[in-house]
Structure 1
Amino acid sequence: MKRKSILLIIISMFAIFAAACGSNNVEKKTGSSKDDVIVIKHQLGESKVSKNPKKVVVFDMGTLDTLDKLGLGDRVVGVPQDSIPTYLKKYKGSEYKNVGTLKEPDFEAVNAIQPDLIIISGRQQDSYDKFEEIAPTIFLGVDSKKYMKSFKENVTTIGKIFGKEDQVKQELTNIDNEIAGLKEKAKASNKKALITLTTGGKVTAYGPASRFGLIHDVFGVKAVTDDLKADPVHGQNISMEFILEKNPDILYVIDRDAAIGEGNNAKGVIENSLVKKTNAYKNGKIVYLDPGYWYLSGGGLESVSEMVKEAAKGIE
């Protein structure tokens, strides 16, 4: 009887120990599950996002740029392939699903992927609710009126989601240093600039606080005129006479036709008899900016760094 009692006590102890272990395992799993989900606040709301998602659909080219720079390209499973800049052309490969266009997403294609996360920006914001029905969706567009603030917030969010905080911090420090160098040169220079975009033979101009206004607002390059009443996104239509009248020392040019695959037409439009009379032309300071960086994928870690370098060509 004594042996039986001892045996029963031992069995009971094992049962209690096993139950305790089971309880601990449940708690750990539950805790881990909570730890793996973070709430991301963005312009369109709040979204619960799993940390380190494996399948991401990206509609914002600046974000695609950032993911690529951080070595996270293997997480991208779907993109609007017709809008990808040349330097990110690998994402046009068959291993990536084409999910429509920037303005007309293919929701069936997105749904078929069953992504863990969808990232959108301005052109898709009206479809936010539709995207949210498929998967957690966050808005990471850049605000031209507070370009660097929104850019830094966006890439910091990416770093938080994918556990790349330290790398993002270092990349942003590098960019801040590059900008500081350019601002110093711009401050010491008397050169004044005009930012233009060409498309279909027409020219529009952009000033401070516009889509491309960071050249003035952030990089410190002086504007040739304060009279522009440009739409922040679409710019102000101008004539060649306007360019000659303002006579910029630097003329920055973005070729929209090249960006959307309709040829490289900017030089033929800009370098006419009137513009050739300007200081910019005479001194070799017509700077043709890469439309991939400026028109398609602005707001990425690589694109912003390259934008600083390109803008500096006007001051050098």
Structure 2
Amino acid sequence: MPAAILTASGLLFAGYSASGADDAAKSSGSSSTIEIEDNSGSQTVATPPSSVVALDNRTFETLASWDIELSAAAVSLMPDTISYTKDDSIIDIGTHNEPDLEAIVAAEPDLVINGQRFTQHEDKIAELVPDATIVNLEPREGEPFTDELIRQTTTLGEIFGKQDEAQQLVSEFESSIKRVQAAYDSSATVMAVTTTGGEIGYIAPSIGRTLGPLYDTFGLTPALEVADGGSGDQGDDISVEAIASSNPDWILVMDRDAAIAADDPSYSPAADVLEGSAALANVTAVQDKQIVYMPADTYTNESIQTYTEFFNAFADALEATK
């Protein structure tokens, strides 16, 4: 196991010493506080929190799987695969583009889980609910991405007394990472793309949205490196001719519209865009059916479970070529 993963996994067990006291507090109906580290430093968090607002879409699936009750959340940002979308008791804060931040006040939260798209609104949220603890565990730039997902999961486990459940998620995640690392041959070139509006966007190694960090995680060999690649959610403009010329052995895909526009009559599934392109017909990845798609809800999910599912799918495909 890579040292970075071992280090991150160790974070989980650091919180175990307090878990017994937390369980006792819950059984007696009382509450206590714990100290956790987030992107702003040390935070004092009431445990168990009495009113939770969730705004970071990386955390929605994890919280739902643990049956965490939410007072308010960015429900409009959730894919319908998240059970909270069917809970009318949750106050909907809306999306990050047009949020109803004042609605957070009505939830009287003692904990706000912020991050990703809602990070831009953190100062305003702090003004509106000054007595709430705002926890932001968005993966930090310059840190190994997989370690950051583990950090987020283990810290949430500490907050909600779900250390065992967090350990299970981390173990499954680490296993999926090891599977890809064992199966991938660095002589095989890889291109990561996103599709939206029937167009293909190039995802730059390391810095590109969602799939970019995986080049570092798995030591993937880029089929093509574009100067000044960005991190936008639609990727960088790229022509099908450029993809064809680079002839990747593998193509990794996030279908952006699958999460937000699948019901639109004009929606073009990523498989149609890539596998139906005459210009890409002779590309190795297309001919050998070595295209791996992220889960359909990835664009508005991006949880540790999402990546575990994708890594296992990638590992399955790699192992099938052995």
Counterpart-to-counterpart distance in 2, 1:203 and 1:301: 25
Aligned to 2:51: 55
Counterpart-to-counterpart distance in 1, 2:305 and 2:313: 12
Query: 1:101 aligned to 2:95?
Result: yes
Aligned to 1:152: 150
Deviation at 1:229, TM superposition (A): 3.5
CA gap 1:301/1:269 in 2 versus in 1, 3 angstroms: closer
Deviation at 1:254, TM superposition (A): 1.6
Aligned to 1:80: 74
Calculate the aligned-residue CA RMSD, in Å.
2.6
* SS class of match (2:278): coil
* SS class of match (1:274): helix
Aligned to 1:244: 244
Aligned to 1:192: 189
Write out per-residue CA displacement over residues 206-229 of structure 1, whole angstroms, 9 at most, x where no aligned residue: 132122123322234432234454
List, as ranges, runs of 4+ consecutive aligned residues in structure 1 with deviation greater than 6 Å: none
Letter in 2 for 1:224: A
Structure holding more helix per residue: 1
* SS class of match (1:40): strand
Aligned to 1:180: 178
User: What aligned pairs does 1:13-24 form with structure 2 within 5 A after superposition?
Assistant: none
Counterpart-to-counterpart distance in 1, 2:308 and 2:75: 23
Write out per-residue CA displacement over residues 98-151 of structure 1, whole angstroms, 9 at most, x where no aligned residue: 111123321222111112211111322232122223122111212465211211
1:81–1:92 contact (8 Å) kept in structure 2 = no
Write out per-residue CA displacement over residues 166-199 of structure 1, whole angstroms, 9 at most, x where no aligned residue: 3322331232122112110003x64322110111
CA gap 1:276/1:144 in 2 versus in 1, 3 angstroms: farther
Aligned to 1:205: 202
Counterpart-to-counterpart distance in 2, 1:171 and 1:122: 20
Write out per-residue CA displacement over residues 29-49 of structure 1, whole angstroms, 9 at most, x where no aligned residue: 9xx9x9812333322454332
User: After alignment, is 50-59 or 255-264 more displaced?
Assistant: 255-264
Aligned to 1:41: 37
Point out where structure 2 has 5 or more consecutive residues left out of the alignment.
1-24
* SS class of match (1:86): coil
Aligned to 1:3: none
Aligned to 1:165: 163
Counterpart-to-counterpart distance in 2, 1:126 and 1:286: 34
User: After alignment, is 148-157 or 36-45 more displaced?
Assistant: 36-45
2:64–2:83 contact (8 Å) kept in structure 1 = no
Query: 1:296 aligned to 2:296?
Result: no
Query: 1:217 aligned to 2:222?
Result: no
Counterpart-to-counterpart distance in 1, 2:126 and 2:114: 11
Point out where structure 1 has 5 or more consecutive residues left out of the alignment.
1-28
User: After alignment, is 224-233 or 234-243 more displaced?
Assistant: 224-233
1:57–1:115 contact (8 Å) kept in structure 2 = yes
Deviation at 1:59, TM superposition (A): 1.0
TM-score by length of 2: 0.78
Query: 1:283 aligned to 2:288?
Result: yes
Letter in 1 for 2:146: M
* SS class of match (1:103): coil
1:62–1:303 contact (8 Å) kept in structure 2 = no
TM-score by length of 1: 0.79
Larger of the two Rg values belongs to structure:
1
1:143–1:150 contact (8 Å) kept in structure 2 = yes
2:77–2:94 contact (8 Å) kept in structure 1 = no
2:39–2:140 contact (8 Å) kept in structure 1 = no
**Percent sequence identity over aligned pairs:** 28
Counterpart-to-counterpart distance in 2, 1:284 and 1:125: 38
Counterpart-to-counterpart distance in 2, 1:193 and 1:159: 35
Query: 1:137 aligned to 2:134?
Result: yes
CA gap 1:233/1:101 in 2 versus in 1, 3 angstroms: same
Counterpart-to-counterpart distance in 2, 1:91 and 1:35: 28
Letter in 2 for 1:164: K
Counterpart-to-counterpart distance in 2, 1:186 and 1:252: 13
